[in-house]
Amino acid sequence: MADPTAPVPPDARPGPGVLDARAAALDAADPLRERRAAFVLDDTVYLDGNSLGALPRAVPVRLAEVVAREWGELRIRSWTESGWWTAPERVGDRIAPLVGSGPGRVVVGDSTSVNLFKALVGAVRTVPDDRDEILVDAATFPTDGYIAASAARLTGRTLRPVPAAGIAAAAGPRTAVALVNHVDYRTGTLHDLPGITAAVHAAGAPVVWDLCHSAGALPVELDAHGVDFAVGCTYKYLNGGPGAPAFLALRADRLAAFDSPLPGWNSHADPFAMAAHHTPATGAARGRVGTPDILSLLALDAALDVWDGVDIGAVRTKSLALTDFFLDCVAAELPPGTVESVTPADHARRGSQIALRHPDAATVMDRLIAAGVVGDFRPPDVLRFGFTPLYTSFADTLRAARTLRRVVGETASA
């Protein structure tokens, strides 16, 4: 008997019911399927978790407790009695295993942009002045480019944009630091973290990785590959909520020498001494600046409960299965040539999203959302679908492809 979970050969178009049976079989065999119940979901097919993750059920309960009890009753005492003061490092330790780091090396707070600035300038401060170039992924998320350009001006360096695949070859004696996105936000292309890191190190420079589109979606293994600095947001695959604080991860041997360009009272070795001169704290606390955003930070802490007992390898396996299945469904449901995938077919080069090119992508996405399938649009012509393995099902995936077929047809005939 044929395996209903097996991929469809490239030139084969399955008959009626085959995709339904395959989706049902894949969902039944999914070891993560019970995690879906931990989220607040409705009948919408939500494929935009790579922009904002769904709400974990534990968060509203926890926030109500924080507001009513910790803020409302304990008030200022909660900084010590409720553990608010140590929350940036405590929550960082919960994120650490999801990105392959160790305890005491990840701090949560501020935005990705602010943490990126800290990491870039801190990295440049560790190299000689004759290393005068900052390499940056030419297709980077715009803010990363803006921050890198500002860091270059402030440190007297030159910004050199290079395609991510060319950074390894471009790194040399003039490289002060390289900034690379682990996953391209438009196409979902997964870049070679081990190879690029090794090449930049061989050139004598540190590297900063932006993990916004990989943290919580696939194994990152910062320590295994000796990554110097990494930053990432927590409101995508980590489901921390809108504007949730970001994280900064430092390699163990980078902590003691990290010279943050934003030394605040929260990163002081003795914050309440109110000293005129800054003495950096030890450990990950060196990456702090000002007073932590406690409500968002503790919402993130509660959101991370969904990861308890989850194997990030299983998340990656399901992510690839979901994206493979979506591509198969699109190929089966839509006429050839209707859309073009710009996401690599190669698993080693794919994140947890599929980006499809269509000439009227903006209109198509608007109509998809109105029809109950939520992805997003990236100019000029990209339909972007993020697959979050903790709550996306294979049935969702098939429904999305079938809705896409209908909407594309309606758009063409309008």
Number of Cβ within 10 Å of residue 305's Cβ equals 14
Residues 182, 347: contact at Cβ < 8 Å?
Answer: no
Tokens of 116: 């990126």
| Catalytic-residue membership of 384 | yes
Check 141, 247, 377, 391 and give the catalytic one.
141
The owner of tokens 């922009």 is: 51
The owner of tokens 């090119």 is: 357
Check 22, 160, 384, 399 and give the catalytic one.
384
Tokens of 98: 């999801």
Which run of H or E residues covers position 249? strand 247-250
Residues 208, 127: contact at Cβ < 8 Å?
Answer: no
Grouping H, G, I as helix, E, B as strand and the rest as coil, residue 187 is coil
| Catalytic-residue membership of 235 | yes
- Give the whole-angstrom CA distance, residue 205 versus residue 212: 22
| Catalytic-residue membership of 394 | no
Check 117, 185, 235, 391 and give the catalytic one.
235
Q: Please provide residue 251's backbone torsions phi and psi, each rounded to the nearest 5 degrees.
A: -60, 150
| Catalytic-residue membership of 377 | no
Check 105, 236, 251, 399 and give the catalytic one.
236
| Burial of 372: CB neighbours in 10 Å, binned 0-12, 13-18, 19+ | middle
Tokens of 33: 């399927």
Residues 238, 101: contact at Cβ < 8 Å?
Answer: no
| Catalytic-residue membership of 210 | yes
Q: Please provide residue 250's backbone torsions phi and psi, each rounded to the nearest 5 degrees.
A: -125, 140
CA distances (Å), origin 366, targets 363, 375, 376: 5, 9, 9
- Give the whole-angstrom CA distance, residue 398 versus residue 19: 7
Tokens of 292: 């932590």
Query: What positions carry a catalytic annotation?
Result: 141, 210, 235-236, 384
